[in-house]
Amino acid sequence: MRQLTQLGLLVHAITVQTGYCFFFPSFGPPSLESYNVDENAVSVSGLSSGASMAVQFHAAFSSRVMGLGVMAGVPYGCAGLTGMTIPLCTLSPSLINTQVLISGTESAAVIGAIDNTNNTANDKIFIYNGLSDSVVNSDVGQKLVEFYQHFTSNQGNIMTKLDLDAEHGVPTLQYGGPCTSFNPQYLLNCNYWTAYHMLNHIYGGQLQEPTASTTQSGQFLQFDQSDMFHLSTPGMYSMDTIGYIYVPSGCADKTTECKLHIAFHGCQQGRYFIGNTFARHAGYNEVGELNNILILYPQVISSLTNPLGCWDWWGYTGIYYRTQYGFQMTAVRRMMEAVIG
């Protein structure tokens, strides 16, 4: 930083003395590029706060999102529509009234805060909760099942994984800490490839399954999230200036039509806390590589109102947080639109 400051002073001095202007390339991350994306093959998922964000995003933009994966998340509006606190939503599933949440979701659609709930009738939903999860009680998963049973036309659209003895985190095939122990990266070595089973269900059950030797041969890129905030800076809403995207080898030249999946990290799991570990090792990229699925990783940071770097599912960014007009929701929508082009 000191060297850059000295360079700036030198350039300024030369400019003043000679009258010449000097232009240097930007050293920040590039803007998010557009790819050849099937607009009818966009899906979302997440862990913990990211799972709850995925639930919100799917509800708000259900006319554009066709599938959802929820790993240790809560139903739409749990900490808002019912007045429940975060601990009650995550640790006291018996107090979650799914009928109230269903009615609140339908009311939000009626007033235009989210898309029509009829859009989700044929969507594929994947729900996971670990039996040893100390952050989100495993029975919350069953509450999600009850919630989505109301909105789907076919119970086969809902796939669950509620029998895995695992702590709080993303179960992977072979990366992370012991499956039943706390891990600060929230990635668990459980011999279960959650990302594959989730995406395979969402996209119809015919995806090629990766193996332990499958490599991430595509492009892992950073992009500027500041582009997604037109009247403010990302940090005002606890969002990072940088996001990640994985571009499979088959999608890089933009001639092949690809799918798009948006993966939301959990609390203390973004770049601000663990760098690109979630984006690199949660298991999405290998599935994307073999099946031409772009994986978008939006990033949030720690802030005064959000010290753990969680996605907003309780209202720290304002009253519109779970609607189409929420600041984080709008930013991610713009990212989705940028990738689709």
C-alpha dihedral sign at 6, 272, 270, 171 = positive
Predicted confidence (pLDDT) per residue in 303-313, tens digit: 999 999 999 99
pLDDT at 84: 84
CB 170 within 8 A of CB 47: yes
| Segment 175-184 long-range contacts (CB within 8 Å, at least 24 positions apart) | 175/281, 175/283, 176/281, 180/132, 182/134, 184/268, 184/274
Which residue in this structure is represented by tokens 């499979």?
248
Rounded average pLDDT over 52-57: 98
Q: How far is CA 170 from the centre of its chain?
A: 13
Per-residue pLDDT for 66 more than 80?
yes
How far apart are alpha carbons 258 and 264 in whole angstroms?
20
Structure tokens at 335: 């990212």
Q: How many residues does the chain have?
A: 341
pLDDT at 80: 83
Provide CB contacts within 8 A for 2, sequence distance 6+.
none
Per-residue pLDDT for 51 more than 80?
yes
Strands 242-247 and 158-161: unpaired
C-alpha dihedral sign at 275, 280, 281, 284 = positive
Per-residue pLDDT for 71 more than 70?
yes
Structure tokens at 323: 């609607």
Per-residue pLDDT for 314 more than 90?
yes
Residues designated as active site: 48, 133, 168
User: Counting Cβ atoms within 10 Å, is residue 307 exposed (0-12), middle (13-18) or buried (19+)?
Assistant: exposed
pLDDT at 231: 83
pLDDT band at 14 (very low <50, low <70, confident <90, very high): very low
Q: DSSP secondary-structure letter at 314?
A: S
CB 188 within 8 A of CB 170: yes
Per-residue pLDDT for 46 more than 90?
yes
Helix (H, G, I), strand (E, B), or coil: what is residue 261? strand
Q: Give the start-to-end residue ranges of the domains of the chain.
A: 31-340
Which residue in this structure is represented by tokens 């492009």?
219
Per-residue pLDDT for 72 more than 50?
yes
